């Protein structure tokens, strides 16, 4: 990390942060001093991805199955089920329906 990078950066995350965004948040958590704000991510730092088609001829179906295990967390033994934010802010149903974003509001403070 270059000096000064991430010192005043905030990264917003929440329960819908998964897949490539989850990989990004895990990398930011590991490699920068940026503050994570919001709720725990929706997926683990390390996860399965990159699907391939597999035909099931006896039942007449074609399914997609993940074929690669991506390691983005603290290594292959990282068993966390989510990336936990440094500053926890929960989005409530009342916030959502009122059009408020308490996570963004907290990051901008």
- For the chain, give every domain's residue range: 10-46+72-98
Task: Please report the pLDDT score of residue 7 as a whole number.
Answer: 59
Residues 61-105: tens digit of each pLDDT:
999 999 998 888 788 888 899 999 999 999 999 999 999 999 999
Q: How far apart are the first and last CA of the chain?
A: 25
Residue 53 has pLDDT above 60, yes or no: yes
Sole residue written with tokens 């704000």 = 37
pTM: 0.76
**To which CATH superfamily is domain 10-46+72-98 assigned?**
2-enoyl-CoA Hydratase; Chain A, domain 1 (3.90.226.10)
Q: In 10 A of CB 3, how many CB atoms? A: 5
Task: Please report the pLDDT score of residue 1 as a whole number.
Answer: 46
Q: What is the mean pLDDT of residues 25-29?
A: 91
**91 vs 8, which has greater pLDDT?**
91
Q: 5-9, 18-22, 63-67 — which is least confidently predicted?
A: 5-9
> In sequence order, which residues have a C-beta less than 8 Å from that of residue 89 and are 6 or more positions away?
37, 38, 39, 102, 103, 106
Q: What is the mean pLDDT of residues 3-9?
A: 62
Two tokens, residue 58: 């006896």
Report d(CA 94, CA 3) in Å as an integer.
Answer: 40
Q: What is the mean pLDDT of residues 15-25?
A: 90
Residues 37-52: tens digit of each pLDDT:
999 999 898 888 889 9
Burial group, residue 109, by CB count within 10 angstroms (0-12, 13-18, 19+): exposed
């Amino acid at each position: 990390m270059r000096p000064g990078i991430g010192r005043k950066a905030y990264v917003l995350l929440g329960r819908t942060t998964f897949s490539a965004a989850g990989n990004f948040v895990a990398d930011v958590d590991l490699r920068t001093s940026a503050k994570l704000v919001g709720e725990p991510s929706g997926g683990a730092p390390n996860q399965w991805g990159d699907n391939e088609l597999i035909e099931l001829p006896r039942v007449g179906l074609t399914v997609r199955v993940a074929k690669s295990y991506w390691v983005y967390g603290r290594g292959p033994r990282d068993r966390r089920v989510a990336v936990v934010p440094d500053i926890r802010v929960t989005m409530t149903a009342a916030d959502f329906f009122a059009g408020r974003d308490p996570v963004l509001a907290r990051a901008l403070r």
